[in-house]
Amino acid sequence: MKRWFRVSTIFFLVISLILSACVGQGPREENVIRVGYLPITHAAPLYFSKEFEEEFLNGGRIELVRFGSWIELMDALNTGRIDGASVLFELAMKAREKGIDLKAVALGHRDGNAIVVGHDIDDVSDLKGETVAIPHTLSAHNILLDDMLQQAGLNYEDVNVVEMPPPEMPSALSEGRISSYIVAEPFGALGVTLDTGHVLFQSNEIRANSLCCVLVLRSDFMEEQPEFADTFVKGYIEAGKKAESFHVHEHGDGSSVHNSHHGSYVQETVAQEGASPDEGTDGADVSEGSNVESSNLANSSSTQWDIKETHMNYLNITEEALALSLNWISYADLQIKEEEYEFLRQRVVEMGLSDNPPLYEDFVDQSFFEEEM
């Protein structure tokens, strides 16, 4: 397995550790949390937490801080410039392995990682000798690539793997610079709606319940503001349910149901609504919140337009690509299950991505789900 990524990954983590010891964070504002994200569909529970603060945060506030790369986000998280982040699980595990005191408190989503290939690719075997793009070596996308190749009887070294910024991937595919890419949504949907490629597999067809993005919080924030941390995470979980209750989701039987308080409809194709991402809008604003209550989402006063607008506030994409992207993803179950984490932990070791990934009991905090367990 290629290990060329290790030097750069370890370098930025070591620098972050040094900076975290040297740079003062300053006092935190009471009942305010600063959370980093990249503008992707996988971070939707954060968007809904922000846009519906009055419903979920009991008077607290979220400051969402948008980043252009995972390295920039992790640097801010590791040095305490933000209190938490929606981030690739493998990056968070590596940071914890290197001494950054983080807690994984909830998933960002389930599913929603398509393997997109050029129109001349019909089978995994066609990728032999070709270039495949992933967003980061420490990612679910890299592991899914390895899983897919193994299942097809190929080795990781049979393809040329390159790291590439997600917004560049659809155009790189159309220009022939790559033959495939695996990435967070909505960039897979964007490539499909632009007709630069097609889906070879969805992530759940390669590996059911593969973990991708996770919400992590700094332990010092959780210790300084335990009550608000509890309110925030529980509100985040409810925000995921709100996103799920209105989004288009493709079920195992191939039907696509969009649940809204207007009713449900089955959608066979994706020609009605959608979105496609690039940079997104800056979410680093603040608004007042009021009260977290468990409400019946089916009777929510929010309209389908409210939900679509929430996504569009953070994703600079078309409605068609947004609909397709949401058709591939779920936010209903954000609990980090031990058996799923242990499988991920085993895979990062097997692939040489980590030497000593954190144990579940040391890294994962699922106390916020206790009432549902």
φ, ψ of residue 162 in degrees (nearest 5)? -130, 145
| Whether residue 136 is found in the same domain as residue 100 | no
| Whether residue 30 is found in the same domain as residue 76 | yes
| Whether residue 230 is found in the same domain as residue 257 | yes
CB count in 10 Å sphere of residue 370: 7
φ, ψ of residue 55 in degrees (nearest 5)? -80, -30
Residue at a domain's end among 206, 224, 247: 206
Tell me the residue range of the domain where 305 lies: 5-110+212-369
Structural contact between residues 215 and 296, judged by C-beta atoms closer than 8 angstroms: no
**pLDDT tens digit string along 115-168?**
999 999 999 999 999 999 999 999 999 999 999 999 999 999 999 999 999 999
- Amino acid present at 171: S
Residue at a domain's end among 151, 182, 206: 206
Structural contact between residues 345 and 357, judged by C-beta atoms closer than 8 angstroms: yes
3-state DSSP call for residue 150?
Answer: helix
| Strand bridging mode 61-66 / 213-218 | unpaired
Residue at a domain's end among 206, 227, 242: 206
| Whether residue 249 is found in the same domain as residue 324 | yes
Structural contact between residues 72 and 43, judged by C-beta atoms closer than 8 angstroms: no
Structural contact between residues 74 and 95, judged by C-beta atoms closer than 8 angstroms: yes
Residues of the chain with pLDDT under 70: 1-27, 246-305, 371-373
Structural contact between residues 96 and 147, judged by C-beta atoms closer than 8 angstroms: no
| Whether residue 229 is found in the same domain as residue 342 | yes
| Whether residue 16 is found in the same domain as residue 78 | yes
Q: Total domain count for the chain?
A: 2
| Whether residue 218 is found in the same domain as residue 75 | yes
CATH number at residue 149: 3.40.190.10
State the pLDDT at residue 236. 98
316-325 burial, b for 16+ CB within 10 Å, e for fewer?
ebbbbbbbbb
129, burial (CB in 10 Å: exposed 0-12, middle 13-18, buried 19+): exposed
Report long-range pairs for 340-343 (Cβ below 8 Å, ≥24 apart): 340/209, 340/210, 340/211, 341/211
Strand positions, DSSP E, 10-138: 32-37, 61-66, 84-88, 102-107, 110-111, 114-117, 131-134
| Whether residue 156 is found in the same domain as residue 217 | no
| Whether residue 231 is found in the same domain as residue 329 | yes
| Whether residue 296 is found in the same domain as residue 336 | yes
Tokens read off for 320: 């068609």
| Whether residue 200 is found in the same domain as residue 323 | no
Q: How far apart are CA 136 and CA 96, in angstroms?
A: 17
State the pLDDT at residue 308. 84
Q: How far apart are CA 283 and CA 83, in angstroms?
A: 15
| Whether residue 40 is found in the same domain as residue 170 | no
